[in-house]
A and B are shown apart, each in its own frame.
Chain A
Amino acid sequence: QKEVEQNSGPLSVPEGAIASLNCTYSDRGSQSFFWYRQYSGKSPELIMSIYSNGDKEDGRFTAQLNKASQYVSLLIRDSQPSDSATYLCAVMDSNYQLIWGAGTKLIIKP
């Protein structure tokens, strides 16, 4: 059974601080990894994709991938109240199917 695990939270972070979200996956053959943001009652919105080991930065977001440890993370710098949402980790398996984590609820406190 291919699985993607995330801490459900909520993770509470003060405004302006760094939010760190983590995800582990079971399928060692996975090659593509994604972070989606989902506001309550809305659809998932793609915010980052990462395909190789190391860091990938896009504005205030940094995705980190460690395939040896089967670990993906998302850092959000200078957190804003508008970043409050559920963050979904999704991992693409060898059939090009996305396997989803349950999401981490992030709360940014003003």
Chain B
Amino acid sequence: EPEVTQTPSHQVTQMGQEVILRCVPISNHLYFYWYRQILGQKVEFLVSFYNNEISEKSEIFDDQFSVERPDGSNFTLKIRSTKLEDSAMYFCASTHSHEQFFGPGTRLTVL
């Protein structure tokens, strides 16, 4: 069964550094998402992406964040200058309609 994959599974970085989180959505899906979940808290929407552009973004998704689909398979989330409060699980999801399927996540730890 096709799956969403994410790399790395765990990323440790210093405050102020740039990180890139990578996702490979399910191949026939057209809509891609990034979510984050701070430990013990709700899943929070960050951004949705369709047809090579952002379709929606939340208040969390400020100028420090960007997304890109650099080729036909990868979907990346870049955080330009990480803050301590960016420490969270980051999930990528994809869908071809309404049902979103999640990758295993990247645990980002900012020191």
Contacts and interface: CB of A to CB of B under 8 A. Distances in A.
Q: For the complex, would chain A's binding face be called helix, strand, loop or mixed by DSSP majority?
A: strand
Contacts of A100: 42-45
Interface stretch (B12-20, B62-70, B71-79, B93-101): B93-101
A44 B56 contact: no
Contact of B98 (A43, A49, A88, A99): A49
B98 A32 contact: yes
Interface residues of A, number: 22
A64 B111 CA distance: 44
B91 interface: yes
A51 to B, nearest CB: 8
Given A43-B91, A44-B91, A95-B56, A101 B100 contact: no
Interface string A66-104: 000000000000000000000010101001111111110
A42 interface: yes
Contacts of B41: 102
A31 to B, nearest CB: 9
A43 B48 contact: no
A32 to B, nearest CB: 5
Contact of A92 (B43, B44, B98): B98
B105 interface: yes
28 contacts: A32-B98, A34-B100, A42-B104, A43-B89, A43-B102, A43-B103, A43-B105, A44-B43, A44-B102, A46-B99, A46-B100, A46-B102, A51-B98, A88-B43, A90-B43, A96-B48, A96-B55, A97-B56, A98-B43, A98-B45, A98-B100, A100-B43, A100-B44, A100-B45, A101-B42, A102-B41, A102-B42, A103-B42
Interface of B: 31, 41-45, 48, 55-56, 89, 91, 98-105
Interface of A: 32, 34, 36, 42-46, 49, 51, 88, 90, 92, 95-103
Given A43-B105, A96-B48, A96-B56, 11 more contacts: A43-B89, A43-B102, A44-B91, A45-B102, A90-B43, A96-B98, A97-B48, A97-B56, A100-B44, A102-B41, A102-B42
